[in-house]
Structure 1
Amino acid sequence: MVHVVFVGGGGNVGRDIVDEIVKQGEHQVTVFSRKTIPDLTESGVNVVTIKNYSDQDELTSALRGVHTVLSFISWDPGNVAQKSLIGACIAAGVKRFAPTQWGIRSKSGFPGYAPKDEVHEYLQQLNADGPVLEYCLFQPGVFMNYLAHPLQTAKHLYISGTHIDVVKKHVLIVEDGEAWYTYTTIQDTAKVVARALSYPGKWPETGGFYGGRAREKDVVKLVEEIKGEPFERHVLRIADLEKGEFNSSWIPVNDHPNMPPEFKGEGIMRQILPAFLLAAHRGAADVDPVWNSLLPDLQLEDVETFLRRVLK
């Protein structure tokens, strides 16, 4: 058993993972949050209210005696909170740390993930002359739950608009749809984290894993087969995406509650989606199965099983 702290564990991604670790009952769980979380407190989880994540002294005091820290900080301009948290982990003697990743691969070329790359580089610099803080970048690829949007397939993970809409039967597809994507449900992500907490060896620096790997066109074909209806394909050209152009008559809307107002609506999606789809076409969403190899008995749900289960 280890004492693990989930920083931002009451939020969109972290909460489903917290619930799984608590349910398994193998580790002592503490959640750091900017606000109270009554239902977690009532279930016996220690919730510590952190008023200022840039206050390293406050964080250091709260992390004394903690073995592992997992970060789920969602909005952190300049990475001020994450860098302060890393400094506090080192000062408090924390053994293992996972920065806010929980997505596609590092240095993917997707501008939206540049802050994650900056934190990675910061950790590399800290450990350049020898191990200071053991860390792992947990990368499940794309959460498979998004393939079922707008159907809600997790208790807490909120699914906003994506490039596949199984209800409106629209899909944005790049060129011939040959891009590979790796997918993991949030439920299986929680299971991987649970196993990683007890892993006896050194954590890998980059810890990719997935339940399924499929080309974009094959996912669309599978959904059409299950639904028994053809999708309207909105084909995007690489040359247009490279210019930041989004030539499509249909576009999903980002209504994610964790995003600030300026990041919601159709306008911002016309900026974000071209960059993401272009990065994915270049391999950004095709993570390496590192944890799958380290934990060969892992049984994670694949894409076809998931889609047939939730769409039928």
Structure 2
Amino acid sequence: MVHVVIVGGGGNVGREIVNEVVRQGEHQVTVFSRKTIPELTDAGVKVVTIKSYEDQDELTAALSGVHTVLSFISWDPTLVAQKTLIQASIAAGVKRFAPTEWGIRSKSGFPGYASKDQIHEYLQELNAEKTVLEYCLFQPGTFTNYLAYPLQTADHLYISCTYLDVVKKQALIIEDGEIWHTYTTIQDTAKVVAKALSYPGKWPETGGIVGGRIKEKDLIKLAEEIRGEPFERHVLKIADLEKGEFNSSWIPVNDHPNMPAEMKGPDLVKIYMPPFLLAGVGGAVDLPPVWNSLLPDLELEDVETFLRRVM
């Protein structure tokens, strides 16, 4: 048993991880949050209210005796909060750290994920001469739950529409649809993380998680089969995306609560979609099954099984 602190454990992704680790009952769990979370406190989970994630002394004291820190800090554009958390973890003697990742590959080229790359580089620099803090970038690709939008298939995860709307039968497809995508449910991601806390070996620096791997065109075909009728396909050209052009009559709705206001609205969606889709063209949404190999006894739900179960 180890003592794990889940920073931002009251948020949508973090809360799913908290619930699974608590459910498995193998580790002592503490949640760091900027606000009180009565539901967790009532369930017997210790919640520590952090006044400032920029106060290293406060964080260091709160991390005394902690073995592992999982970060789910959702909005940290200056990186001060997460860097301070890393420094406090080192000062407190924390052994393992997982930065705020929980998505696609590093160096994806998508501007919205640049801060993730900067934190990765920061951790690499700190550990350049010797290991001062073991860490892993947990990368499950896209949460499969997003494919069920707007249906809620998890207790706390916020979802929004991606390039495929199975309910409204709309699909974006880049040219011939040969791009590979990795999907993992939030539930399976939580199971992997919970088991990784007990993993006896050294954590991999980059930990891909693969629930299912499927080509864009095959996913659309599968969704059409499940719905029993063809989808309206909106074909996008890579050359247009490279020019920053999003030429589709259908624009996915972006109503994710955690997305900043400057990235919402159809005109703004058309601005950020080209670099996001180009990240997929570059392979950023196709993850290696690192944790699958390290935890071979875990069976994860693939895309087809998920869609047939929930739709």
- TM-score band by shorter chain is over 0.9
3-state SS in 1 of match to 2:202: coil
TM-score, normalised by the number of residues in structure 1: 0.98
Q: Aligned runs of 1:220-299 on 2, under 5 Å? A: 220-299=220-299
How many residue pairs align between the two structures?
311
- Provide the rounded CA distance (Å) in 1 between the counterparts of 2:238 and 2:262: 27
Q: After superposition, where does 1:1-312 map in structure 2 within 5 Å? A: 1-311=1-311
More displaced 10-residue stretch of structure 1: 269-278 or 189-198: 269-278
CA distance in 1, matches of 2:206, 2:200: 17
Q: CA deviation at 1:260?
A: 2.7
AA paired with 1:262?
A: E
Q: CA deviation at 1:261?
A: 2.1
Query: Does the 8 Å contact 1:150/1:166 carry over to 2?
Result: no
Instruction: Give the Cα separation in 1 of the matches to 2:35 and 2:309.
Output: 36
- Residue type of the partner of 2:164? I
Measured after TM superposition, the shift of residue 24 of structure 1 is: 1.0
Provide the aligned C-alpha RMSD in A.
0.8
Cα deviation for residue 268 of structure 1 reads 2.2
Q: Unaligned stretches of 5+ in structure 1?
A: none
Unaligned runs of 5+ in 2: none
Counterpart of 2:289, as a letter, is P
TM-score (norm 2): 0.99
Tell me, in whole angstroms, the C-alpha distance in 1 between the residues paired with 2:191 and 2:75: 25
Helix, strand or coil: the match of 1:77? coil
1:91, 1:51 → 2: CA distance? 19
Letter in 1 for 2:302: D
2:147/2:161 contact within 8 Å kept: no
Map Cα deviations across residues 224-268 of structure 1 (whole Å, 9 max, x no partner).
001101100000000000011101111012111122322222222
Encode CA deviations 1:26-55: one digit per residue, 9 max, x unaligned.
110000011111100100001111121011
Q: Which amino acid in the other structure matches residue 5 of structure 1?
A: V
Structure 1 runs (4+) greater than 4 angstroms displaced: none
